[in-house]
Amino acid sequence: MKGTAKLLLLSSLVVLYFGLGVVGPWYADVPFQGSIAALCVLLRLQTSGWRGLRTDLAFLLPFLCTLVAMGALLDAFAMANRTDWTEDALCKALVFPNSFWSIQLAVGALRLTDLVALPRGVRRFFILTHALVSKSRPLIERLWWLVCHDPSLQTGPWIIRSGRRLTVLLAAALIAVYHETEATVRVYDARMALLEENPS
């Protein structure tokens, strides 16, 4: 399968998962989320092998551990009179990798040749989104390395240091992705204008 049909199928599957498992009734359904996680792991193994899966886990685990630790901390202080912080954090720790993998697998399965057959307006949006999603991960990994080695973010207790690093990463990533989007749009529009002038 390729072209528009492939795009529609992949988009529908991602929307279906988000509709049911992220904002829908099966958000806290552990067997459903577990099955999706197992399926994503298998597909990830098939597409990128152990190395790809290890890289994904190295990217996801620090965030997931922090999430669960925050849940336990909020539970310990009975924040907002709630006692389900840990449970909610554990749900999020399943839902987040599933959302991440579902988008990553869908984007990874799409080729630019699948997108060129789309109508002009939609094509521009999908090609730009595809390019940005592909660039974002290495960009964020590099930003995280730079943040972790920034001498101004090396001091203080672990929790404060990690919080400052995450804040700086978020701000830097927003600016970087914004700049990257502008650059990608400029290159795409210039290339399309050139192709329209010289169609051969």
Partner 1 sequence: MNSSGQSTHPSLREESLQHEDPMLLGPWEIGVHPPGLTYRIPAISLPYGSRVWLSGDNGAGKTVFLERVLLPRLAAMGRQVFLVAQDLLLQAHVMAAVLASRGQRAPRCLDDLVMAWCAPARPNSILLLDEADRHLSPRTIHQLLELPLAFVVAVSHQGRPCTTTHCFTICRHETLVHLEIGP
Residue closer to partner 1, measured from CB, 28 or 133? 133
Rounded CA separation 10/109 (Å): 8
Rounded CA separation 128/192 (Å): 12
Residues with Cβ within 8 Å of residue 22, at least 6 apart in sequence: 95, 99
Residue closer to partner 1, measured from CB, 112 or 183? 183
Out of 179, 186, 189, 193, which residue is the one contacting partner 1 (CB under 8 A)?
179
Please tell me the total number of residues recorded for the chain in this structure. Answer: 200
Rounded CA separation 191/142 (Å): 28
One character per residue 67-106, x = contact with partner 1 (rule: CB under 8 A): ----------------------------------------
* 185's tokens: 């749009």
Q: Name which of residues 116 to 175 contact partner 1 (CB under 8 A).
A: 139, 142-143, 146-147, 149-155, 164, 167-169, 171-173, 175
Rounded CA separation 196/87 (Å): 55
* 200's tokens: 């051969």
Rounded CA separation 65/88 (Å): 13
Cβ 70 to partner 1, closest distance in Å? 20
Cβ 49 to partner 1, closest distance in Å? 15
Cβ 63 to partner 1, closest distance in Å? 18
Q: Using CB under 8 A as the criterion, which residues of the chain lie in contact with partner 1 when the complex forms?
A: 139, 142-143, 146-147, 149-155, 164, 167-169, 171-173, 175-176, 179
